Amino acid sequence: MKEQPSKKITTPIIKTAPVQTASPESVLFTKENFKWMIIGALIMALGFFLMAGGKSPDPNVFNDKDVYSPIRITIAPILIVAGLLVEIFAIIKQPI
């Protein structure tokens, strides 16, 4: 009988991509961005707290001065919008 020539088994060479380390430019948010985000969240929390107000001593009596106070209908919404603007600034701000 004839012997068949042996086949040489070769493994394919796998090339790996070079490992990339995170450079300062590739970081999405820096410490300063997070600082501004926290400031914006605190401003919004203050606005929501002011909008909530306090409870009435007698629940059967409607006190329009508490419900329609300038703090609840003017200052609190302005603080909430200001907090949202600070959040937008914190997200858009590029690291130096």
Q: What is the dihedral of CA 28, 33, 38, 41, to 10 degrees?
A: -80
pTM recorded for the entire structure? 0.67
81's CB contacts (< 8 A; 6+ apart) are none
SS3 sequence of 16-30:
CCCCCCCCHHHCCCC
Q: Where are the domains of the chain?
A: 27-92
pLDDT tens, 53-96?
777 788 888 888 888 888 899 999 999 999 999 999 999 988 77
State which amino acid sits at residue 16: T
pLDDT tens, 13-63?
777 777 666 565 678 889 999 999 999 999 999 999 999 877 778 888 888
CA atoms within 13 A on the CB side of 63: 10
- Cβ atoms within 10 Å of 39's Cβ, excluding its own: 15
